[in-house]
Amino acid sequence: MRIRYIVVFTGAGVSRESGLPTFRDVDGLWIKYPIEEVATIDALVRNTEKVLEFYNIRRRKILEAKPNAAHYAIASLEKKYNTVVITQNIDNLHERAGSTKVIHLHGLITQNKCMCPTPHYYDIDITDDRTIDLRLGDKCEGGSQLRHNVVLFGEAVENMEIAYSEVQKADIFIVVGTSLKVYPAANLVYYTRPDAYCFCIDPDESLNLPANFCHIKSRAVKGVPWIVNFLLENPQEISSIMKEGKIVLE
Q: What is the CATH number of the domain that holds 6?
A: 3.40.50.1220
pLDDT at site 27? 54
Q: For residue 100, how many other CB atoms are within 10 A of its CB? A: 11
Residue 172 structural domain: 1-20+67-106+158-250
CATH classification at residue 113: 3.30.1600.10
| From 94, 106, 148, 215, active-site residue | 106
CA distance 38 to 59: 14
**Residues in contact with 74: Cβ distance below 8 Å, sequence separation at least 6, in sequence order:** 8, 10, 83, 85, 94, 97, 99, 176, 224, 228
Q: Is cis: bond before 184, omega within 30 of 0?
A: yes
144 and 237 fall within a common domain:
no
Share of the chain above pLDDT 70, in %: 95
Going by pLDDT thresholds of 50, 70 and 90, the confidence category of residue 247 is very high
Per-residue pLDDT at 156 exceeds 70 = yes
* 215 catalytic residue (yes or no): no
Q: Which residue has the higher pLDDT, 180 or 105?
A: 105
Residues 60 and 123 in one domain: yes
Question: What pLDDT is attached to residue 135?
Answer: 95
Range from 6-15, 102-111, 178-187, 214-223 carrying the lowest mean pLDDT: 178-187
pLDDT greater than 90 at residue 23: no
Residue 145 forms beta bridges with which residues?
Answer: 139
Q: Is the pLDDT of residue 24 over 70?
A: no
- Summary mean pLDDT of the chain: 93
